[in-house]
Chains A and B, each alone.
Chain A
Amino acid sequence: MFRNQYDTDVTTWSPAGRLFQVEYAMEAVKQGSAAIGLRSKTHVVLGCVNKANSELSSHQKKIFKVDDHIGVAIAGLTADGRVLSRYMRNECINYSFTYESPLPVGRLVVQLADKAQVCTQRSWKRPYGVGLLVAGLDESGAHLYYNCPSGNYFEYQAFAIGSRSQAAKTYLERRFENFTDSSRDDLVKDAITAIRETLQGEALKSSICTIAVVGVGEPFHVLDQGTVQQIIDTFEIAAEQEDPATEPDAATGQEAATEQGTAADQGGSTDEGAAPMDI
């Protein structure tokens, strides 16, 4: 893990052709709390585990609305994530202003990647220590991208980043083939289940996770805690009907009858005072 000789500068190659500073930055992503994303043909769902510094503090915000059609979940240095979200928001606003149409997700992601790359080739800079799961909708459909500190980006059907994300990835790998035709609600349930995987035993409550959805006819918004708790409760009901301590995905498979979640999570509160941008 300690490759001391060539790792001081981001502009120093190792003999093996690696940039250790960039790899260390990716390590920072792995240390952050988990974030997952999955998409169907028409919707993309982001989820993250809420980590608080201490019992006294509030948890860090890891999901950001970038525009009505794009949102991002981050893992790693939250401050870097905040700055990049601000950049993304600006880009979306400027593009909308000039072209009177929403910025295609693929373009935004490339701009973000290029911005990250710059930091890997300047001696006076350091790479961003944050991985971003960019969820968005554009004319070519629903998209989920992962942006690395290295400046690489990849499109995914489903992905998980951060600590203990391997458990979520295993779950997603098993189920991803079904996601394309999943309904919105099933997608949300899968997201919550994937998050539960990363918790590894810890109780799943709505206070411990944040879920956000974007889809056709549904601007990006974070689901409120009540809605999420209702969906979690439907898991519990289904799980009680089986042996306790069975695999979680068997429980989610039984949920044909439990559609109460549907009406409740119409997303976005309709309260008079709540703003559409309320995240």
Chain B
Amino acid sequence: MTKQQANWSPYDNNGGSCVAIAGADYCVIAADTRMSTGYNILTRDYSKICKLADKCVMASSGFQADVRALQKQLAARHLIYQHQHNKQMSCPAMAQLLSNTLYYKRFFPYYSFNVLGGLDNEGKGCVFTYDAVGSYEKVGYSSQGSGSTLIMPFLDNQLKSPSPLLLPAQDAVTPLVEAEAIDLVKTVFASASERDIYTVRRQTRTCYHKCSWYPPGIHGT
């Protein structure tokens, strides 16, 4: 008597890739714009990036319905925070909140692979990378999603972060300037889209800079 298996799954994978790179005074976050199911395309024009706070943006790939629910949860919690503290949440604070929110659903997870990017309280770029249940780490760069297996090794080669286990603690942010980092992101999506069917070249990209910041825009190649 074999165990009965479910004939319906609550999850689906809508594919796509996300990338974020942190610099000394900037942060670039990007995600491609294709939303798929199986071998089909649902839309060519979907933004996987969500602004959670003034200086904090989240890019998520995976099951977009769960991603949307997660974004709404975080937005509501952010409102409560603002009422209580009279200010916006910082990026590191939002990072912790996201981790807790994901782990809250440890036994029916959000099928969402997230990358959080923004500026910390000192104006330095920061990137946090997550798994589906909230395990997270502050890093200098990261990618998640269907193309991450193709993207991550390339970023490792170009940006290699020092290990967080090293003592004394070393700066995780890349020495590249913002323009170079943006160029790198464009290259990364150009390459990933060559071999990953779920990732396309076209991305939405947000760049945070200490002095000014650009709202998310749909940028082509």
Interface residues of A (CB under 8 A from B): 65, 86, 89-90, 93-94, 96-97, 275-279
Contact = CB atoms under 8 A, between A and B. Distances in A.
Nearest to A85: B83
Chain B, interface SS category: helix
Given A65-B83, A93-B76, 11 more contacts: A89-B79, A93-B79, A93-B80, A94-B76, A96-B76, A97-B72, A275-B54, A277-B82, A277-B83, A277-B88, A278-B87
Contacts of B80: 89-90, 93
B86 interface: yes
Closest 4 CB pairs of A and B: A277-B82, A275-B87, A93-B76, A275-B88
Interface of B: 54, 72, 76, 79-80, 82-83, 86-88
B83 A89 contact: yes
Nearest to B73: A97
15 contacts: A65-B83, A89-B79, A89-B83, A90-B80, A93-B79, A96-B76, A97-B72, A275-B54, A275-B86, A275-B88, A276-B82, A276-B88, A277-B86, A277-B88, A278-B86
A57 B54 CA distance: 33
A75 B72 CA distance: 34
A94 B83 CA distance: 14
Contacts, number: 28
A90 to B, nearest CB: 8
Contacts of A90: 80
Contacts of B86: 275, 277-279
Contacts of B72: 97
Nearest to B81: A277
Contacts of A89: 79-80, 83
Of B72, B76, B80, B83, which is in contact with the most chain A CB atoms at under 10 Å from its CB?
Answer: B83
Contacts of A96: 76
A275 B80 CA distance: 13
A94 B87 CA distance: 20
Nearest to B75: A97
Contacts of A65: 83
Nearest to B89: A275
Contacts of A93: 76, 79-80
A62 to B, nearest CB: 16
A39 to B, nearest CB: 24
B171 to A, nearest CB: 24
Given A275-B88, A277-B87, A278-B87, A97 B82 contact: no
Nearest to A68: B79
Contacts of B88: 275-277
A65 B83 CA distance: 8
B105 to A, nearest CB: 16
Contacts of A97: 72, 76
A275 B87 CA distance: 5
